[in-house]
Amino acid sequence: MIESFGILASMLEKVGLAALVILSYRAILRSRWPDLWAGPAIGVLFSLGAAITMIDPLVIGPGIVVDIRVVMVGLAALFGGLWAALIACVVAVAVRIFIGGAGVLPGTVSIVVAALIALAFVRIRGSRRDLGNLALLGLAISLSLSSVLLMPFDFVVNTAAKSLPALIVRNVLGTMILGYLLAMEERREAEHKTFKQLAERDALTGLSNRRALEVLERRNPNQETPELFCVIMFDLDHFKTVNDTHGHSCGDVVLARFAEIISRRIRGSDLVVRYGGEEFCVILNDALLSNAARIAEDIRGQLAAEDFANGVTVTVSAGVAQSSENEPSVYTVIKNADKALYEAKRNGRNRVEIHTE
């Protein structure tokens, strides 16, 4: 009985040490790697975790060691899928063979069996990370303990049988503790991404808000050879009248539709920002002033031809400006485009004006 508690205490200590894996897992979640590489990266992470726990294992007999390698392999399958489980399994097997001893064969078999059981478990139960599912996963991978039958009979009866309850509890608690902490990191990261998206996106139109311009300005410092770009500033004509006459719901439809018209006309490399209530800013990368003016005119014409509910029609005025080597700042060009926009308004609205020095 005392021996079982000793095994359990030692394994819980390893769980605490292995929890450092969480820091690396957070880095993977916050990286910009394609999804194709997320699984292998998680596999490498859990394989390193398995190797770390195998460096200083609990020795219960000559060449017979126990650790939480199967927990790492099981969690690799749950959090990273097939490739993660495969990588963790291969590395853990390699480390176990390198360590050597009388338990090499059953140790290797237990790792492979744990990986297969974990993958089958995820296939059947899904990738839920709640405590109940984690506990079931811990119980499932404990079936890998059957590999001890490959050991001599007297060892199985006198040593392994006594340690079996503690080893099962080790697997369950290890999977629950590490799995729950990793799941918490996932939830935090998901909330972080959601809040970040809400902070950077306009809820009505789905376009970027003015924060995107701050990011763009930081990415375009005063360089020796700055990349030239154009800015189009749009302002819906008499939009307050639309809201007052037909209601804000109609105004929202107009804003959403105008955002759609702009998005369909520009390239994927360009940026559309809802600059204010009815103001929109378009950043055209590597564009000539004449091309930017033509795009603005096309967008103006499309909106003017749009027929909203109850025969409502809306027009838009636009101002266009281009950056220069002397004026590489986004905000400077926006200011120039804004001057051209007000010129368009003074000249009767529903038109495009180009900023000239």
- Dihedral sign of CA atoms 178, 184, 84, 48 in order: negative
User: Are the C-beta atoms of 19 and 26 separated by less than 8 Å?
Assistant: no
* 349: Cβ contacts below 8 Å, ≥ 6 apart: 237, 238, 315, 317
What are the CA-CA distances from residue 331 to residues 38, 243, 338 (Å)? 37, 29, 10
Separation CA 256–CA 206 (nearest Å): 8
Which structure tokens are listed for 24?
A: 């690396």
Distance between CA 105 and CA 325 in Å, rounded?
69
Residue length of the chain? 357
Both tokens of residue 269? 């490399």
Rounded to whole angstroms, what are the CA distances from 113 to 76, 129, 223, 234, 289?
14, 21, 58, 63, 65
Nearest to 66 by CA among 137, 3, 115: 3
Residue with tokens 């001599």: 152
- 230: Cα separation from own chain's centroid: 31
d(CA 173, CA 346): 73
Sign of CA dihedral 193, 195, 198, 199: negative
Residues 106-125 as b/e (b if ≥16 CB within 10 A, e otherwise) read: bbbbbbbbbbbbbbebbeee
Q: Which residues are catalytic?
A: 278
Residues 178, 137 contacting (CB under 8 angstroms): no
334 — phi, psi (to 5°)? -60, -40
